[in-house]
Structure 1
Amino acid sequence: MKKREIEELLLQLVNVQSVVNSSGEVAIIDFIENYLRSWEYFQKNPDNIIRVPSVGDALNRPSLLVSVCGQESPDTVVLLGHTDTVEIDDYGPLQDLATRPEELLAALRKGQRDLYPEARKDAESEEYFWGRGTLDMKAGVANELILLKKLSEAQTSFRGRVVALFVCDEEGNSAGMIAAIEALQAWRNATDANIIGVINTDYHTAQYPGDEDYYLFKGTVGKIMPVFYIRTLETHAGDPFAGLDANLVLANLLDEINLNPKYSDSAPDEFSVPPISLKAEDLKEVYSVKTNHEAWTLISVPLFEETPATVMSKMLTAAEIAATKSSDKFTNYQRAYCQQAKIPNPHVLPKFEIITLATLLERASELLGEDKDKMIDRYLRPINHVDSRKQTLHLIRQLEALLPDRRPRIVVGYAPPFYPAISYLDSDSHFYTLVDKGIKSVLTADIAKDYLLDTGKKLKTKTYYPYISDLSYLALPYDERDLQLMADNMPTLGRSYHIPLSLMKELNLPVINLGAYGFDAHKWTERVERDYSFRILPRLLESIVMEILNNR
């Protein structure tokens, strides 16, 4: 495949601004579909392009399922790529150039925005394309399209089929991927296809400062999002020890969990990044001298080998630690104040209760004498249009207020979204052996089983792709106990939040991520390295696909 052809297509793709949750997501799919239909293959086989609508989507954003057939065989390789990008507001006065790589680079070279030293060096070279979506992930989409084009022009060179899923909304709520796997399953059933595995071409970057290696990932990280609701005791600001400030407890909770590597997940020789809060606030809506007695936070927890059950256990422990720290601070500060003021210690703080959301639901159902599911529906139905995270909070607040004992309490549950972790460690699939053979046809392996590039750099193998991706929707390596625990603690699941868990378990597909390389995805300095991404990567992808389909 010609490097320049892929680069020219990349620039065209980037020129189509496709920010998530905008009409641009329709425009980019229109562009790709028109590009595909200009090929002779699809003029003869127009039904091999399927436009897949996102269910209930206000913007009518579609995805595409595209198939190219070789010689007769049920064996199939799936390529996956998302076509949306994050916003462009971070480009500031250069927003109009964010999706015009050549003009953006010219402006940066003129010093219209200050660049940090490494970025300045890259801007002065000819080794990168700059702009929103160049790296994440239109470089990968361009690679997939050119590979499909080459295969469509050489159908006798391979057996079986190559299917590509070009999906919207990956940077949002994965509406495109959720619809696409339904379409993929329907297509598989209709064609009796045997899907060997899935190749995602999302970007990768240096794994630490100074890292110059490239990476193949034989799996993808997952994510689960605990929600913590904190209920304390209100009081007058002039009598602070007569109650307990919820913000004190929230601060201790965040101090315990946020960026704490003791809560990182691990696999052989790999560690996930620590959890990070995505939302944290008190719930006092107006100013008054009454202290705040409610707070909440959402915590993003990466998954490697942890499960919903083990994460819940750790989060309950974290809540206990935060509660103990808060109680100890309350006691110690009150003692110190009373000594200064020469008055007795008048207040004893009631003991905290730490419970799961599932426990709260059971208690409330019993108090109300109402079926649990009917109760949840009654509380959530009037706010079905509200963000599902806020729905979770609303339900917890309403039900916790029913409990007769007004004591400090932390409720721990789950809020959407949920992304399973997938890895070759969960699979005995021959797919991964064929992937390695395909790479060895292009690169040589050293003693450490790394692959050597002709540039002197290495392509290394890791288990978990470290950035949340739509690959998570292609398998579900958890047992029923874990899934039931998650469902019991995520009341929006199956209501306002829909994820096809049974289909994911049925698909059970092995996956890899082998994508373009560059720096600063989601930043205004986003850029993709041209040599690896458009010279080496295309050869690797083609070799892997041909190895899988011709040597089964």
Structure 2
Amino acid sequence: MLNSREELLFLTKQLVEVESIVNTEGEKELAQAIYTLLSSFPYFKENPSYIIKQQTINDEQERYNVIAFVKGTKKPSPKTVLLMGHLDTVGIDDFNHLKNKACNPAELMEALQSEELPPLVASHLQSSQYLFGRGVLDMKSGVASHIHLLNYYSKHPDQLEGNLMVVIECDEEDGSHGILSALKELKKLKEQHQFDYVAAINADFVSPLYQGDENRYIYKGTVGKLLPSFFITGAETHVGSCFEGLDPNFLAAELTRTINYNPELCNEAFGETTVPPVSLKQTDLKPTYTVQTALSAFVYYNFFIHSWSPEDVLDKLKQQAELAFTNALDEYKKRYLQYCQASKQPYQEVVWKPRVMTYEEMQQLLIEEHGDVYVVHMENFKAELKQDLSLDTRMFSAKVVEEAWKWMPDKDPAMILFYSSLYSPRIEVTGKDDKETILIQALDEAIKKVQPSYDYPIRTKNFFPYISDMSFVALSDDEQGIAAVTSNNPGWGVKHFVNYQDIRDINVPVINIGPYGFDAHKQFERLEQTYSFEIVPMITNEVIQGVLRSR
């Protein structure tokens, strides 16, 4: 089994050559290809019910997960280790004129020989140690490693003191419909076979954390990700009388200046610190050109967390928004006064005050003001709005807040804070229970055993720094923290819903042992073959064995 390099290289290329960009037919095609491959294994021919192609639930796309498991016979046990990986990729437009070769590593690498490349990329291309192409790193090589291990144990179940299950999910790169649907199947299998899920191992990519970083990282737990959003209203005016109104874009710009790259909004835990928030969209909501200033603007920010709850984030951002609003009004008054002095016009007192509220607070106000008439109106509005499939969850939420704002009795400028997309929960794996302790010990022992056979340092860290489906197999947030998400998401229950109880029902500690490389989601995506094809399956196997043989 440990002579895995050539097999994994071949299998990775096969997977990459099936273009499986998220939200395209390719996801369905690759799921079928993987299902067909696994079904060809003799073990699954003998046990066809042990492999499942599961269609995602409540999904606007037709796509599938593939779930398969091997029951060990060395010492039959309910203990089950999950191996996780996603089959979808991001798009290929960034490959530009080489787009038609993005999913063919051999042709792409040959074409790159004639390109002007950055020095590091060129050296990797010439080294023969790297494989290039969309999905080689994120994360088809990780899926290949899991399939390799599943295949081995399907031939040697007598070497398993428990069970091994592979969950290959779709839609990781967008809405996580894959893993959220897989939870339903995992719960069903748990009941049917009395499985006890004791550990999960994801195989998403790892990369250097800074220039010159030669460590290969394995992560215990994962960062959480939120998408805090603001609907910002101003006071409309003709541009020729600009100081008779307040441009919401002016407020939005100051808000972004306050939040973007702000170290005060980095979350430190266990000696590790998240990157600060950064804007992912900033726009006004004017549908067409006019000479009036906009009525409203919409902005949202990526926000990573290690230990803060979604409720904590709302509190911190509400404070930042109040500061930004105050600063914007102060600057507005200053510029207005300078203009009045220059134009010799009288200065009129600026009456607007900073006003920031959460969506939940606005809802409570509007329900108290209008009662059932408002509630019924908004339910009907959401139902009709859902028919517009061009709206993603983020813009859907903005439209809902925009409609609700029309019912506000006080239309003075305001910032409404809400969540407009999926919350990927943070996970801490610290040894707080027996399952976590056993997994951490097994990982430490695996690294100690494998490290002498590899030249570069293999290090553990507490939080996987990228978004992944690891977030949906355990939950570190309490009910109050989750309630802050559900009560402040305007699309909740209509455009967007997550059954967090499904996550609590699985609740398995998770680590990430993934392929190593550079430029995931970029044109020069590539993996280093020795670590990815030899060391990753070796460490993963040692952890599987260590967890299952523990008492």
TM-score range, shorter chain: over 0.9
1:84 aligns with 2:88: yes
Alpha-carbon shift at residue 40 of structure 1 (Å): 1.2
Give the letter for the 1:421 counterpart.
R
How far apart, in 2, do the equivalents of 1:274 and 1:432 lie? Answer: 31
SS at match of 1:430: helix
- Residue 168, structure 1, aligned to residue 167, structure 2: no
Per the TM alignment, residue 431 of structure 1 is displaced from its structure 2 partner at its CA by 3.9
| 8 Å contact kept, 1:376–1:491 | no
Q: Residues 426 and 477 of structure 1 are in contact (CA less than 8 Å); yes or no, is this contact kept in structure 2?
A: no
Cα-to-partner distance string for 1:149-200 (whole Å, 9 max, x where unaligned): 1111111111111011000111111111111111001100111111101100
Q: Tell me the equivalent position of 1:527.
A: 526
SS at 1:148's partner residue? helix
2:202 & 2:244 partners in 1: Cα distance? 57
Write the distance in 1 (CA, Å) between the matches of 2:395 and 2:431: 34
Q: Retained in 2: the 8 A contact 1:214–1:517?
A: yes
CA contact (8 A) 1:82 1:168 kept: yes
- Indicate the larger mover: 494-503 or 451-460: 451-460
Residue of structure 2 in register with 1:194 after alignment: 196
Secondary structure of 2:504's aligned partner: helix
Q: Would you say 1:443 and 2:448 are equivalent positions?
A: yes
Letter in 2 for 1:109: Q
8 Å CA contact retained: 1:242, 1:347: no
**Letter of the aligned partner of 1:89 in structure 2?**
D
- Distance change in 2, residues 1:69/1:125 (3 Å): same
Q: Which residue of 2 aligns with 1:416?
A: 421
CA distance in 1, matches of 2:288, 2:28: 41
Matching residue's letter, 1:213: N
List aligned pairs for 1:359-438, cutoff 5 A. 359-370=361-372, 374-385=376-387, 386-425=391-430, 427-438=432-443
Matched to 2:525, the amino acid is E
TM superposition shift of 1:441: 4.5
Per-residue deviation at 1:215?
Answer: 0.7
The aligned counterpart of 2:251 is 249
Query: In the TM superposition, what whole-angstrom CA distance separates every residue of 1:391-437 from its partner, at most 9, and x where no partner exists?
Result: 22122112222222231111111111111100113842334444443
Q: Which amino acid aligns with 1:286?
A: T
Cα distance in structure 1, aligned partners of 2:501 and 2:137? 33
* SS, match of residue 196 in structure 1: strand
Instruction: Determine the C-alpha separation between the residues in 1 that align with 2:196 and 2:189.
Output: 11
Q: C-alpha separation between the residues in 1 aligned to 2:265 and 2:416?
A: 19
* Cα distance change, pair 232–442 in 1 and its aligned pair in 2 (3 A): closer
Q: For residue 375 of structure 1, report the CA deviation from its aligned partner.
A: 4.6
For residues 371 and 463 of structure 1, the distance between their equivalents in structure 2, rounded to whole angstroms, comes to: 49
TM-score, structure 2 normalization: 0.95
CA distance in 1, matches of 2:139, 2:439: 25
Aligned-residue offset at 1:269:
1.3
Matched, 1:122 2:124: yes
Post-superposition offset of 1:363: 1.6
CA contact (8 A) 1:453 1:459 kept: no
Partner of 2:238: 236
Aligned-partner residue type, residue 540 of structure 2: L
Return closer, same or farther for 1:263/1:320 CA change in 2, 3 Å cut-off.
Answer: same
| Offset at residue 485 of structure 1 (A) | 2.5
Cross-structure match for 1:305? 307
For residues 403 and 37 of structure 1, what CA distance do their matches in structure 2 show?
Answer: 58
Partner of 2:62: 60
- Equivalent position SS for 2:217: strand
Q: CA, structure 1 residues 295+9, in 2 after alignment: closer, same or farther (shift >3 Å)?
A: same
Assess, with a 3 A threshold, how the Cα gap between structure 1 residues 274 and 418 changes in structure 2: closer, same or farther.
same
Report what 1:277 is aligned to. 279
CA contact (8 A) 2:187 2:505 kept: no
1:36 is matched by which residue type in structure 2? L
TM-fit CA distance, 1:551? 2.6
| Percentage of pairs with the same residue | 34
- Give how far 1:371 is off: 7.0
Contact kept? 1:515, 1:533, Cα under 8 Å: yes
- Residue type at the aligned position of 1:151: Y
Ranges in structure 1 where 5+ consecutive residues have no aligned partner? 445-450
In structure 2, distance between residues paired with 1:487 and 1:426: 29
- Aligned counterparts of 2:104 and 2:139: Cα–Cα separation in 1: 15
Please list the CA deviations of residues 291-319 of structure 1 after superposition, one character each: whole Å capped at 9, or x if unmatched: 22310111121121110111000110111
Cα deviation, 1:475-497, whole Å, max 9, x if unaligned, reads 22222222223222113222221
Alignment length (residue pairs): 544
- The amino acid across from 2:213 in the alignment is D
| 8 Å contact from structure 2 (residues 234, 414) kept in 1 | yes
* Stretches of structure 2 lacking an aligned partner (at least 5 in a row): none
Instruction: State the match for 1:136 in structure 2.
Output: 138
Counterpart residue number, 1:447 = none
Tell me if structure 1 keeps the 8 A contact 2:200–2:511.
yes
Specify the code of the residue in structure 2 equivalent to 1:10: T
Say if 1:432 and 1:513 are closer, same or farther in 2 by CA, change over 3 A: farther
